[in-house]
A and B are shown apart, each in its own frame.
Chain A
């Protein structure tokens, strides 16, 4: 099975900060990675698919990158509504696997 190691597990940041979250796959997965945002008590929402494709309606301050084993989610300028948890998902092969998650809170 493919493991997704996500880091950091938590971080504190300020409005306007540039934030980068990483996921490392235990083996090469091409660009088969999606990123999700989840707010407390809500279902997750997809932000990015195919490593770098922005979901329709998602602000352009979100971007994704990487290929093979190393992937990143970047928020160029953190906004108040971005304080949430973020997860990567590999969908290269079954069983699909999520990263452990990153909680972004207010510094």
Chain B
């Protein structure tokens, strides 16, 4: 079974631009979560989607948004990029059906903001 895939793997943007990252979960998984990983803050939760609905949100500004499509694929968008947004953005998927479930991570998208 294929794992979680994320595209693109690397991105370079300049301040003020916006960016869209994509995540395809493991087949059959309906929950997708996004995390930001930086050396300074570690792994921080952005948001979680299930059945096209945002079910949980972390403490990030409104410039960070996401959505989920009917096939469970998810995108996250960051508008008006800041230097501090440079990070590894990780997507994790789980079945999302009941209880506490294992989350499987993708390889991440490395974003560099200049």
- Decide if A and B are genuine partners: no
Binding site for B on A (CB under 8 A): none
